[in-house]
């Protein structure tokens, strides 16, 4: 597995990395990799000739500076997991590589970015879309979307939908492949944030998914979660082309958990 730090090396290398006709699977991440990421990487491995993983903790998508500061950065174990999943190349850009413009240029979505997570995290999706646009542009090895696929988890369904929308809006040559949410055996959706839960909060956390999935009445679901100790950010249903989904974001102690299910 090759590790490229910075931009210049990667830009040079990617010109002759893949042989003609080889398919690229790209998994952009912020590191702190867990089984959810491993699932994306294994899918990318199965479906492509080469797998590229990027790790960049993107400051422009954090609207809470404390959240950014606390975000785990276990690079050695990330590289180990990447190796185990058969990644060919890991790319580790830094802030200056991705933001030579100091974030003066941005991608803004004006509809879906205003609801659900976008309502209480202003600017979050502008940060996500801007960095994904930059990553796509720099990782691009072909002008043909059949030759390059990017993998995103359904746990961040709103993010996934917006990235799909951006690809359509700007005709970006990427095929977006969604991957179902990976859960612990008790139902809790895997997230890097789960590591920050205290043992008591961790025992409570699976209630979020149970209630989201099993309680048909949203008001009753809200009351149940609040009684259990969650502070609800939102609990709502939202229509998508693929069908209606139900979304929740809630705090346990100071950890914000999100989840969603198809209805």
Closest distance to ligand PAF from the beta carbon of 128 (Å) = 5
Minimum distance from residue 64 beta carbon to ligand PAF (Å)? 15
User: Which stretches within the chain are classed as H helix?
Assistant: 8-14, 35-47, 65-70, 75-84, 95-98, 117-120, 124-139, 157-169, 199-204, 207-214, 218-228
Which residues are at the interface with ligand PAF (CB under 6 A)? Answer: 28-30, 58, 61, 128, 131-132, 156, 159
> With respect to ligand PAF, which residue has the nearer C-beta, 152 or 225?
152
Per the annotation, the verdict on 37 as an active-site residue is yes
Active-site annotation holder among 16, 34, 37, 124: 37
Among 5, 150, 31, which Cα is nearest to 91's?
Answer: 5
β-bridge mates for residue 78, sequence order: none
Say if residues 109 and 166 touch (Cβ distance below 8 Å): yes
CB of 220 to ligand PAF, least distance (A): 31
Residues 6+ apart with CB under 8 A from 43: 25, 151, 177, 179
Give the nearest distance from C-beta 224 to ligand PAF in angstroms. Answer: 29
Q: How far is the CB of 155 from ligand PAF (least distance, A)?
A: 9
- Taking the CA atoms of residue 105, residue 95, residue 149 and residue 185 in that order, the dihedral angle to the nearest 10 degrees is -120
Least distance to ligand PAF, CB of residue 129, Å: 9
Q: Which is nearer to ligand PAF, 36 or 207 (CB)?
A: 36
Q: Which residues of 52-83 are buried (b: 16+ CB within 10 A; e: fewer)?
A: bbbbbebebbbeeeebeeebeeeeeebbebbe
For the chain, what is the total number of helices (H) and then of strands (E)?
A: 11, 9
**H or E segment to which residue 6 belongs:** none
Residue 96 buriedness (CB in 10 A; 0-12 / 13-18 / 19+): exposed
- Cα–Cα nearest to 186, from 159, 209, 213: 209
Q: Which is nearer to ligand PAF, 51 or 131 (CB)?
A: 131
Q: Which residues have a catalytic role annotated?
A: 37
């Amino acid at each position: 597995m090759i590790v490229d730090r910075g931009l210049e090396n990667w830009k040079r290398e990617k010109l002759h990395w893949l042989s003609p006709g080889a398919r690229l699977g790209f998994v952009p991440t912020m590191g702190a990799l867990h089984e959810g990421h491993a699932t994306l990487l294994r899918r990318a491995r199965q479906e492509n000739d080469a797998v590229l993983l990027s790790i960049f903790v993107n400051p422009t998508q954090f609207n809470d500076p404390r959240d950014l500061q606390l975000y785990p950065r276990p690079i050695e174990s990330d590289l180990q997991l990447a190796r185990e999943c058969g990644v060919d190349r890991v790319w580790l850009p830094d802030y200056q590589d991705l933001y030579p413009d100091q974030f003066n240029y941005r991608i803004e979505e004006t509809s879906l970015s205003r609801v659900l997570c976008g309502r209480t995290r202003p600017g979050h999706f502008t940060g996500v879309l801007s960095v994904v646009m930059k990553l796509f542009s720099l990782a691009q090895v072909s002008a043909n979307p059949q030759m390059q696929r990017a993998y995103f988890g359904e746990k961040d369904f709103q993010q996934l939908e917006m990235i799909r929308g951006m690809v359509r809006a700007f005709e970006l040559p990427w095929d977006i492949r969604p991957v179902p949410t990976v859960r612990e055996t008790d139902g809790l959706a895997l997230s890097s944030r789960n590591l920050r839960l205290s043992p008591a909060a961790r025992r409570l956390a699976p209630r979020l998914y149970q209630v989201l999935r099993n309680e048909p009445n949203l008001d009753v679901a809200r009351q149940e979660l609040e009684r259990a100790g969650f502070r609800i950010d939102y609990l709502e249903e939202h229509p998508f082309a693929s069908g209606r989904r139900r979304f929740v974001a809630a705090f346990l102690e100071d950890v914000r958990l999100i989840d969603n299910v198809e209805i």
